[in-house]
């Protein structure tokens, strides 16, 4: 089905990203999986190519490209390859963390952090989830006590993507625990700050090239100028920015599903069983038809969501629908495609095995799919 979301210039941009990924990302992914993280050299190359934080204004080193379609292209091209570490890490850095600093940071904060995030010299993470507070962000306990010219931060965060390599972290803290959500604030922390430490990268079911870890804060002195926006407004900022985060996850989900479907179609044409390619068997043909239909429906929906987002009309409920439905679809597509590979589908060197393992977490982070359904239901019943 022909897509009309991208113009000719954007299609050329997509090809340039595709070529870069084929040269710099895909060949290196196996060693990154063993190292449990993408190399810093790769981050610098990605930044040098102009693929990080493109929306950042030119005065801070960015390209000032406000059309989100360009960001969507990068997410799609990365996810389609099956290299899930970079496909998660780069978009999170550019499209999820950086906007908090660009939208709510003061001038000094922008000048300090944005240029190095654009170049890839510094790597960004966002720290919301805590051991006792996952999707329930209102109940975070990491505290930030006002000490006059700085906050004294104590607490911990877990499951932090880009955590181990992070140089810059947007951290959700409680500046007034008595006010619940209205007592939540956001601060920017440097990993070089005394008392800011990191745990070892988790050994995960999937996303083996992604450095996910715990962060610990023990009497970390965070300058007041590192407060993002206003004190007590952090929860509102998170709710505002989470629609784009969920859109990014949904984009990666549909592109990953398309990628694994393409590989599976190729495999079924080459794999011989009972004297002929398994693509000629009715069960194979029906399964491929089912997956292709669902992926096409998903693609149509997500393209519309991107259009809405570019027009600043993507509401929270629709973003939640995209995140929930497309990550569910990603998991089902990967599972069906693995089955069509037979025993080879369970071998890690085959993209379908990685796609199957990597897909599972998509239904958990950025708000579990159960939370997405709750947000959708509130909109339906209002």
The structural domain count of the chain equals 3
Question: Parallel, antiparallel, or unpaired: how do β-strands 227-228 and 184-190 relate?
Answer: antiparallel
Residue 181's pLDDT is: 84
For residue 305, what is the enclosing H or E element?
helix 282-310
Q: How do residues 95-120 score in pLDDT, each as one tens digit?
A: 999 999 999 999 999 999 999 999 99
Residue 68 contacts residue 60 (beta carbons within 8 Å) = no
For residue 217, what is the enclosing H or E element?
strand 212-223
**What are the distances in angstroms from CA 151 to CA 108, 142, 308, 362?**
17, 12, 38, 34
Q: Which domain holds residue 203?
A: 125-232
Statement to judge: residues 370 and 262 lie in one domain: yes
Statement to judge: residues 371 and 258 lie in one domain: yes
Statement to judge: residues 103 and 169 lie in one domain: no
Q: How do residues 275-304 score in pLDDT, each as one tens digit?
A: 999 999 999 999 999 999 999 999 999 999
Statement to judge: residues 134 and 70 lie in one domain: no
Is there a domain that residue 156 lies in? yes
Is there a domain that residue 186 lies in? yes
Statement to judge: residues 213 and 260 lie in one domain: no
Statement to judge: residues 303 and 370 lie in one domain: yes
**What are the distances in angstroms from CA 242 to CA 44, 141, 216, 314, 366?**
27, 20, 24, 11, 8
Statement to judge: residues 240 and 371 lie in one domain: yes
For residue 283, what is the enclosing H or E element?
helix 282-310
Q: How do residues 142-151 score in pLDDT, each as one tens digit?
A: 999 999 999 9
Is there a domain that residue 344 lies in? yes
Interatomic CA distance for residues 276 and 262, integer angstroms:
20
What is the residue-averaged pLDDT of the chain? 95
Question: Parallel, antiparallel, or unpaired: how do β-strands 124-127 and 168-174 relate?
Answer: parallel
Is there a catalytic annotation at residue 245? yes
For residue 154, what is the enclosing H or E element?
strand 150-161
**What are the distances in angstroms from CA 94 to CA 41, 89, 286, 371?**
17, 9, 39, 24
Is there a domain that residue 3 lies in? no
Is there a domain that residue 2 lies in? no
Catalytic option among 33, 130, 214, 245? 245
Using a 10 angstrom Cβ sphere, with 0-12 exposed, 13-18 middle and 19 or more buried, the burial of residue 178 is exposed
Interatomic CA distance for residues 117 and 166, integer angstroms:
11
Statement to judge: residues 192 and 260 lie in one domain: no
Residue 34's pLDDT is: 94
Percent of the chain with pLDDT over 90: 93
Statement to judge: residues 89 and 171 lie in one domain: no
Question: Parallel, antiparallel, or unpaired: how do β-strands 212-223 and 227-228 relate?
Answer: unpaired
Is there a domain that residue 352 lies in? yes
Residue 136's pLDDT is: 67
Which of 183, 207, 232 is the endpoint of a domain? Answer: 232
Interatomic CA distance for residues 206 and 356, integer angstroms:
8
Residue 340 contacts residue 264 (beta carbons within 8 Å) = yes
Statement to judge: residues 171 and 113 lie in one domain: no
Task: Please state the φ and ψ torsions of residue 157, each to the nearest 5 degrees.
Answer: -130, 155
Q: How do residues 332-350 score in pLDDT, each as one tens digit?
A: 999 999 999 999 999 999 9
Statement to judge: residues 129 and 81 lie in one domain: no
Give 2's pLDDT tier (boundaries 50, 70, 90).
Answer: confident
Number of helices (H), then strands (E), in the chain:
12, 10
Residues 6+ apart with CB under 8 A from 209: 29, 32, 33, 35, 36, 37, 38, 83, 84, 85, 86
CATH number (domain holding residue 114): 1.10.540.10
Is there a domain that residue 207 lies in? yes
CATH number (domain holding residue 207): 2.40.110.10
- Residue 43 burial (CB count, 10 A): 22
Is there a domain that residue 68 lies in? yes
Interatomic CA distance for residues 53 and 71, integer angstroms:
8
Residue 134's pLDDT is: 63
Residues 6+ apart with CB under 8 A from 53: 62, 93, 94, 98, 114, 117, 118
Checking phi first, is residue 36 left (phi over 0); if not, alpha (psi -120 to 50) or beta? left
Interatomic CA distance for residues 216 and 200, integer angstroms:
12
Q: How do residues 132-187 score in pLDDT, each as one tens digit?
A: 766 667 778 999 999 999 999 999 999 999 999 999 999 999 999 888 889 999 99
Report the candidate in 336, 337, 331 with the shortest Cα–Cα distance to residue 351.
Answer: 337
Statement to judge: residues 64 and 85 lie in one domain: yes
Percent of the chain with pLDDT over 70: 99
Residue 87's pLDDT is: 92
Q: How do residues 240-251 score in pLDDT, each as one tens digit?
A: 999 999 999 999
CATH number (domain holding residue 323): 1.20.140.10
Which of 232, 266, 288 is the endpoint of a domain? Answer: 232
Which of 94, 123, 152 is the endpoint of a domain? Answer: 123
Q: Give the residue-averaged pLDDT of 58-63.
A: 96
């Amino acid at each position: 089905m022909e897509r009309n979301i991208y113009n000719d210039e954007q299609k050329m941009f997509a090809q340039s990203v595709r070529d870069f990924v084929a040269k710099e990302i895909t060949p290196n992914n196996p060693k990154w999986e063993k190292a449990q993280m993408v190399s810093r050299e790769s981050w610098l190359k990605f930044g040098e190519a102009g693929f990080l934080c493109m929306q950042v204004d030119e005065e801070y080193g960015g390209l000032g490209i406000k059309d989100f379609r360009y960001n969507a292209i990068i997410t799609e091209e990365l996810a389609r390859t099956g290299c899930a570490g970079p496909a998660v890490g780069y978009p999170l850095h550019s499209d999820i963390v950086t906007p908090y600093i660009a939208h709510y940071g003061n001038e000094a904060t922008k000048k300090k952090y944005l240029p190095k995030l654009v170049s890839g010299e510094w790597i960004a993470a966002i720290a919301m989830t805590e051991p006792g507070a996952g999707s329930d962000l209102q109940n975070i306990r990491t505290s930030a006590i006002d000490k006059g010219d700085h906050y004294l931060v104590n607490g911990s965060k877990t499951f932090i993507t880009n955590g181990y390599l992070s140089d810059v972290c947007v951290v959700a803290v409680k500046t007034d625990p008595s006010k619940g959500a209205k007592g939540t604030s956001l601060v920017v922390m440097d990993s070089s700050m005394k008392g800011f430490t990191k745990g070892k990268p988790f050994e995960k079911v999937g996303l083996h090239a992604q450095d996910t870890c715990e962060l610990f804060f023990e009497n970390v002195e965070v300058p007041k100028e590192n407060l993002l926006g206003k004190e007590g407004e952090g929860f509102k900022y998170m709710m505002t920015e989470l629609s784009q985060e969920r859109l990014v996850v949904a984009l990666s989900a549909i592109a990953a599903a398309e990628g694994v479907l393409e590989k599976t179609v190729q495999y079924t044409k080459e794999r011989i069983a009972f004297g002929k390619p398994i693509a000629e068997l009715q069960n194979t043909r029906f399964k491929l038809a089912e997956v292709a239909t669902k992926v096409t429906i998903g693609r149509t929906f997500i393209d519309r969501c991107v259009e809405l987002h570019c027009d600043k009309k993507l509401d929270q409920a629709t973003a939640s629908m995209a995140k929930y439905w497309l990550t569910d679809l990603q998991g089902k597509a990967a599972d069906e495609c693995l089955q069509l590979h037979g025993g080879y589908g369970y071998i890690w060197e085959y993209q379908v095995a990685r796609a199957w393992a990597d897909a599972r977490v998509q239904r958990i982070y950025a708000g579990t799919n159960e939370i997405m359904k709750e947000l959708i239901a509130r909109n339906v019943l209002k």
